Structure 1
Amino acid sequence: MNQDYIQPKEWSIVEEGFEKDRVKSSESLFSIGNGAMGQRANFEEDYSGDSFQGSYIAGVYYPDKTKVGWWKNGYPEYFAKVINAPNWIGIKVVVNGEPLDLNTCLAVSDFRRELNMKEGWYSRSFIATLPNKVQLHVKSVRFLSLEHDQVGAIKYEVCPKNTAAWVEFIPYLDSGITNEDSNWDDKFWNTTQVSSQGRQAFIEAHTMKTNFKVCTFMETMVFYNGTLQTTLPKETLSETLALHSYKKELKKGDLFSLHKFGGYTVGVSQKQTDLREVAKTVLQKVAHLGFDTLLEGQKKAWANIWAMSDITIQGDLKAQQGIRFNIFQLNQTYLGKDSRLNIGPKGFTGEKYGGSTYWDTEAYCIPFYMATKDHKVARNLLKYRYNHLEKAIENAGKLGFSNGAALYPMVTMNGEECHNEWEITFEEIHRNGAIAFAIFNYYRYTGDYSYIPEMGLEVLIGIARFWQQRATFSAHKNKYVILGVTGPNEYENNVNNNWYTNYIAQWCIRYTIKQLHKVKDGYPEDYHRIIGKTSLTDREITAWSKVAKEMYFPYDEALGVYLQQDGFLDKELIPAHKLPKKDRPINQKWSWDRILRSPYIKQADTLQGFYFFEDHFSREALEKHFDFYEPFTVHESSLSPCVHSIQAAKLGRMEQAYSFYLRTSRLDLDDYNKEVKEGLHITSMAGTWMSIVEGFGGMRILDDKLSFSPKIPSQWQSYSFKVNFRDRIIELMVTKEKVSFYLKGSEEMSLRVNGKRIVLLASQKVEVLLDF
């Protein structure tokens, strides 16, 4: 039974009724962010019940010592933590000497919270009966500004319902915080200065080891029945706390409001050394604007984002809510402003997994950002990897590779591997292939080749060198093999000749050689610079070619399918639908030994290769491999349903495609994996977008042209989306009868619909009848 308390709304996530056992799940679901910082939906007031406190700053991390009982050469020294930052949202509320705490209240009624995705704000309201019998109506609204991304704003209002009462607001900053996810309970922050001046307060602190300097700040003002109060707050300072106090005697029905502006100035993003002075300047600006003006700016900023990235679905409210939730969270997590940042798998919603960068970015996220933003946003994600090339070469060197071979980390904050599970750290080397594929995919979609001679070719050379050295020549097979790996299916460890890994290794080498020739012919200065820098020789390239040409791929003649890896058919091939319900999910119910011996696939593995390299295989081959592998796939990775949805749509299996789409779009809203309290699955949310655009919309690049083969689920009346293709905006709407195109811009363009060429004229609608 999936959770079902989130109400289906087109533009909002709504929860009604207060239930203590779902507080942590809602803290994840109602999270907010602005690309520079984010926070879980923790209550502003004190809460003594079960809660997962989390405020996060993009790019700020702590290298927590890896916790293992043994050590091996090349093992990462630390597991990077996305650390809980000092808390600026806190507002203690005291009523006649009694603190407001929903965990201890006699009654809580009319509880409602809403995440408004259209306008980018989060609200909460309730009526609480405190132990002293005072009944208090509370309403709060907060958001993290997109325009002023160092700042968040809170409006917190209380009104006594049944009696007069003394109400005290105590807004505070707190740097004495801990991490939910800590290996050794280390102290992550060192506080150096706590100060207060008038309505402002500041805490200056730095992270231990990494020494990220942060000034957490706030400015507050109070209103009585709508009138600003001029009284300055009383202040209380300690080693890690800055508290302000405003106290007022209220009559029954009076409204007492606190406006709080807070956030962070960060050493990594500020040239000035005095972060406190920077914070003062920020506060002066936003306090002058005020809460309501800032909120209007927030609404406009989100309107601009939605104007390009929205997907509309008519006739299916849950599907509509699901895709908008996914798009909203992706934009809250990463906006492409800073090439030092990336897209963490939990974004700003939790701490699980550690690190900020996985292969998810290249495999799943880049298509979303290429199509819904300026191409420079995706280019920044590729630049991020180029900036980490030297670290990738160091990572490979630690494992015994040489001559500039590069192994990009599975998990990283700064280019250095920081994952502490050996089967992933050492064996899941396919991540190298996803980075090379993203370079290819970026050029294929944007037409911007400049990245490759400027940066990308060096990355490709490092990756090709790794694959050539990682392959082993088997005299028995008279082929090159790749031994001891883990493919995308993490329910198989230390296998030989994972088909996807071997295939992408071969492709990487051939693609690199092709780009070397292209850069040599078209960009001779860049070519000579790169050859000089990498000391690449013709002899080395010949060795690469030999590995690619003679790569081994496990294949079964009788079945006519590539095998996921050597020995896959030795397993007891019982389809997943025959598993007892009590055994699901197997990652929570079975021993690891039992999982490894089973045929069950966590996520698309061989089929991941068929997704990336769809044009290398016939439709019949896809169908045969889909029919063989999907029945063994348990989809216990958030990255799994989207690939299967896209492929089911291509095969015309729309009910199956729709089912997979609904699962990926509502993975967190419906808590399929029973883990949403730990945070959201941000990177797989891009796969939800792909399920519609590439799956149902059938968008592809064929012969350097945009192509669509639209289909529509029976549950929908219509759907629409926009894509930015090479600086031209194409809007597409699909109904059960036709597909409509509208081209923004000044130049016409041609594209294909179900294989037929059509021409779009600027600012004119073109309709094509569909025959399903």
Structure 2
Amino acid sequence: ARADGSGVPAKGLTGDGYEGHYFWDTEIYVVPFLTLTAPEQARNALRFRAMHLDQARDRARELSVKGALFPWRTINGEEASAYYAAGTAQYHIDADIAYAIGHYGAMTADQEFMRGEGAELIVETARMWADLGFWRVGDGETFEIHGVTGPDEYTTVVNNNSYTNVMARWNLRLAVRMVRDLQTEAPDAYGRLVRAVGLEPEEVREWERCADGMLIPFDERLGIHPQDDAFLAKELWDLENTPPERYPLLLHYHPLVIYRFQVLKQADVVLALFLRSGAFSQTEKRADFEYYDPITTGDSSLSAVMQSIIAAEVGHQVMALEYFHAGLFVDIGDTHGNTADGVHVASAAGTWRALVSGFGGLRDDGDLLSFDPRLPRSWSHLTFRLTYRGSRIRVHLTRRLIKFTLEQGDPVRLRVRGVEYQIADTPLEIALAHQGLYLPGLASAHPVIGGRRSDGTLITAEVPEVAETEPRTEQLPAV
């Protein structure tokens, strides 16, 4: 991240795993960590995408969409993914980049970047979504996105992946807001943007319409967001009775076997619950977590940290700590058996997020930093620092209070459990009556084997049989 304009590879500079390529985890895990701790380095990492915008435009034309489509796997701006179903089909890479840019802008107020390179990137990714999706007319109109793969690479090339649609909607709305803000607040920058990308006013209105009409799948009977249109119709993979030596699944089963089942490589809907926290109710978050957690393998090193964050928020605090430890020891304990190929950089960044956002309760997708702590019962305290719009904040959490100290910069407004405060010269201590909802276990685990789907059909599960051969060496191209 220190090399201006260079990306952050999946293994950093610690090993030759993935041949120095990098993926979406740069923007979803690494850049947000840098934004809140070393914002100048976050900007450096984001500039890599800006430098390769023209290549992304070419890639979009190759896949018959407008705007820019960034490569799933790259080292030089060109697509290097060989397996399209778990690679190029992950169009969500565009929304992931938009998320990192939007988060960086909100946390730093870096107007120079956001009004220049950042604005171009946001506009071109929004264009891609507006062209990739289509309007489906029935009783009403919905904007839908078909033929994509979400973060979960055990389910590929689907219609209306919930994560993709949620993040695409946000990408479109961010573009609308940025363009309109530039029109009123920075007309010169707006003029430069119009000339640079050929922006037309009707485009912006269409982005807003697409965002408002975006279909976000929801099952009323189960009270959950289906991962995609067809996910709930599949048979369950019986993970409880899958032998330990059959993990990770991708090394022991052909992808076509895995794709037939409700089974996740990593957090998908659950990741959206964190990144767009304000878009979901607590009831929805708990129902989604309790449905997907039992069928999530954690075969990806990126999964445990996000499961930890949402588990803490919805009340499964014992599970949150277990998942945190799983993320913490990915490399220290070599739990995935591949640390020799290099450190899992994104998982390490995610472990920090699990501390700060899971146990510290930080949410940063609103107008102010917001805290709702969940300190583990076995911990006496937690201390961390944040950089927010040029100010350095020290946060100290105990079971009875949360204390904020402004170490550098201007006063900062924030919220603790819905109440607004300001940190200035004097440290601010706020009493805490509790550490959030505490559930002893999965109180109402879903999916229920033997239960019924919304259409009344029976939910069944199995463990696919495999021939007694050597484990597969072919891997899906994911981190």
Same fold (TM over 0.5): yes
What CA distance in whole angstroms lies between the structure 1 residues aligned with 2:264 and 2:337? 19
The separation in 2 between residues aligned to 1:359 and 1:756, in whole angstroms, is 35
SS at match of 1:577: helix
**Per-residue deviation at 1:702?**
6.9
Q: Do residues 723 (structure 1) and 386 (structure 2) align?
A: yes
Matched, 1:361 2:26: yes
- Counterpart of 1:372? 37
CA deviation map 1:183-238 (0-9, x unaligned): xxxxxxxxxxxxxxxxxxxxxxxxxxxxxxxxxxxxxxxxxxxxxxxxxxxxxxxx
Equivalent of 1:599 in 247, 262, 265:
262
Q: Does 1:459 align with 2:117?
A: no
Rate the CA distance shift 1:678–1:610 in 2: closer, same or farther, 3 A.
Answer: same
Match of 2:300 among 637, 642, 648: 637
Structure 2: which 5+ residue stretches go unaligned?
435-479
* Aligned-partner residue type, residue 360 of structure 1: D
One-letter amino acid of the structure 1 residue matched with residue 21 of structure 2: S
Shift of the alpha carbon at 1:575? Answer: 5.3
Contact preservation (8 Å) 1:693, 1:721? yes
Give the secondary-structure state (helix, strand or coil) at the position aligned to 2:414: strand
Question: After superposition, where does 1:434-473 map in structure 2 within 5 Å?
Answer: 434-473=96-135
Q: 2:8 aligns to what?
A: 343
Counterpart in the other structure of 1:533:
196
1:574 to 1:726, Cα distance in 2 relative to 1, 3 A: same
In 1: Cα distance, 2:80 partner to 2:348 partner: 24
> Equivalent residue for 2:336?
673
CA 1:747–1:512: 2 relative to 1, 3 Å:
closer
Q: Does 1:519 align with 2:207?
A: no
Contact 1:575 1:631 in 2 (8 A): no
Distance 1:662 1:572, change over 3 A: same
Q: What does residue 431 of structure 2 align with?
A: 769
Q: Write the letter of the residue equivalent to 2:303.
A: S
Q: CA deviation at 1:345?
A: 0.6
Letter in 1 for 2:13: F
Q: Is contact 1:355–1:411 with CA below 8 Å preserved after alignment?
A: no
1:554 & 1:701 partners in 2: Cα distance? 25
**Alpha-carbon separation, structure 1, partners of 2:190 and 2:409:** 36
**When the two structures are aligned, how many residues end up with a matched partner?**
433
CA distance in 1, matches of 2:60, 2:149: 17
Q: What TM-score do the two structures reach when normalised by structure 2?
A: 0.85
SS in structure 1 of the partner of residue 292 of structure 2: helix
Matches within 5 A, 1:195-594: 334=1, 336=2, 338-373=3-38, 375-402=39-66, 405-475=67-137, 478-574=141-237, 576-594=239-257
What does the per-residue CA deviation read over 1:122-159, in whole Å, with 9 as the maximum and x for residues that have no partner?
Answer: xxxxxxxxxxxxxxxxxxxxxxxxxxxxxxxxxxxxxx
Q: Is the 8 A contact 1:355 1:418 kept in 2?
A: no
- Following TM superposition, by how much is the alpha carbon of 1:497 offset from its aligned partner in structure 2, in angstroms? 1.5
User: Matched residues in 1 for 2:219 and 2:266: separation?
Assistant: 21
Q: 1:665 to 1:480 in 2, by over 3 A?
A: same
How far apart are residue 688 of structure 1 and its match?
A: 0.3
Q: CA deviation at 1:746?
A: 6.3
Q: CA deviation at 1:616?
A: 1.1
Q: Distance in 1 between matches of 2:302 and 2:409?
A: 38
**Could you tell me how far 1:545 is from its partner in structure 2?**
3.6
Cα offset, 1:669, TM superposition: 1.6
User: How far is the alpha carbon of 1:364 from its aligned partner?
Assistant: 0.8
Cα gap change, 1:750 to 1:496, in 2 (>3 Å)? closer
Query: Aligned equivalents of 1:460 and 1:702: distance in 2?
Result: 17
Partner in structure 1 of residue 477 of structure 2: none
Residue 430 of structure 1 aligns with an amino acid whose one-letter code is: H
Residue 737 (structure 1) aligned with residue 391 (structure 2): no
For residues 157 and 338 of structure 2, what CA distance do their matches in structure 1 show?
A: 27
Instruction: Specify the alignment match of 2:450 in structure 1.
Output: none
Amino acid at match of 2:344: H
* SS of 1:740 mapped into structure 2: strand
Deviation string 1:540-562 (CA, Å, 9 cap, x unpaired) is: 33443443333333322211222
CA distance in 1, matches of 2:179, 2:423: 36
Q: Distance in 2 between matches of 1:596 and 1:608?
A: 20
For the aligned residue pairs, the C-alpha RMSD in angstroms reads 2.1
**C-alpha distance 746-491 of structure 1, shift in aligned 2 (>3 A):** closer
Post-superposition Cα deviations, 1:288-342, rounded to whole Å, max 9, x if no partner, equal xxxxxxxxxxxxxxxxxxxxxxxxxxxxxxxxxxxxxxxxxxxxxx3x3x32212
Q: 1:686 to 1:753 in 2, by over 3 A?
A: same
| Structure 1 equivalent of residue 363 of structure 2 | 700
| Structure 2 Cα separation of the partners of residues 703 and 536 of structure 1 | 28
- Listed as ranges, the matches of 1:33-72 within 5 Å are none
- Whether the 8 Å CA contact 1:370–1:446 is kept in 2: the answer is yes
**Contact kept? 1:410, 1:424, Cα under 8 Å:** no
Q: Which amino acid aligns with 1:350?
A: G
The one of 297, 301, 312 equivalent to 1:649 is 312
Which residue in the other structure is 1:755 paired with?
A: 418
2:282 corresponds, among 595, 619, 627, to 619
How many Å separate the matches in 1 of 2:124 and 2:164?
17
Tell me by how many angstroms 1:748 deviates.
4.1
- Kindly state the Cα deviation for residue 585 of structure 1 after the two structures are TM-superposed: 2.4
User: In 2, distance between residues paired with 1:668 and 1:525?
Assistant: 48
Which fold has the larger relative contact order, with Cα–Cα distance below 8 Å and residues 6 or more apart in sequence? 2
- What is the CA-CA distance between 1:719 and the residue it aligns to? 2.1
Q: Please state whether the residue corresponding to 1:666 is helix, strand or coil.
A: helix
2: CA distance, partners of 1:750 / 1:530? 32
Query: Which protein is bigger by CA-based radius of gyration?
Result: 1
Work out which of the residue numbers 316, 326, 350 in structure 2 matches 1:663.
326
Partners of 2:189 and 2:175 lie apart in 1 by 15
Q: 1:241-274 CA distances to partner (integer Å, 9 max, x unpaired)?
A: xxxxxxxxxxxxxxxxxxxxxxxxxxxxxxxxxx
TM-aligned CA deviation for residue 703 of structure 1: 5.4
Q: Residues 501 and 761 from structure 1, CA distance in 2 versus in 1: closer, same or farther, beyond 3 angstroms?
A: closer
The secondary structure found in structure 1 opposite 2:259 is helix
Q: Is the 8 A contact 2:275 2:365 kept in 1?
A: no
Could you list the per-position Cα deviations for residues 635-671 of structure 1 after superposition, in whole angstroms to 9, with x for gaps in the alignment?
1111111111111111232211100100001111222
Equivalences for residues 74-113 of structure 1 within 5 A: none
**Which AA in structure 1 matches 2:382?**
Y
SS in structure 1 of the partner of residue 12 of structure 2: coil
Name the CA distance, whole Å, in 1 between partners of 2:10 and 2:221: 40
Secondary structure at 2:310's aligned position in 1?
helix
Does the aligned pair in 1 maintain the 2:143–2:214 contact within 8 Å? yes
AA aligned opposite 1:409: P
Which segment is superposed worse, 545-554 or 624-633?
A: 545-554
Kindly, what percent of the aligned residue pairs are identical?
33
Matched residue type, 1:491: Y
TM-score, normalising length: structure 1: 0.54
Instruction: Name the amino acid aligned to 1:390.
Output: D
AA aligned to 2:321 is Y
Amino acid of the structure 2 residue aligned with 1:346: K
1:528/1:662 Cα in 2 relative to 1: closer, same or farther (>3 Å)?
A: same
Secondary structure, counterpart of 1:491 in structure 2: coil
Which structure has the highest helix share of the two?
Answer: 2
Change (3 A) 1:747 1:545: closer
Instruction: Kindly indicate whether the alpha-carbon contact (under 8 Å) linking 2:15 and 2:343 is maintained by their aligned counterparts in 1.
Output: yes
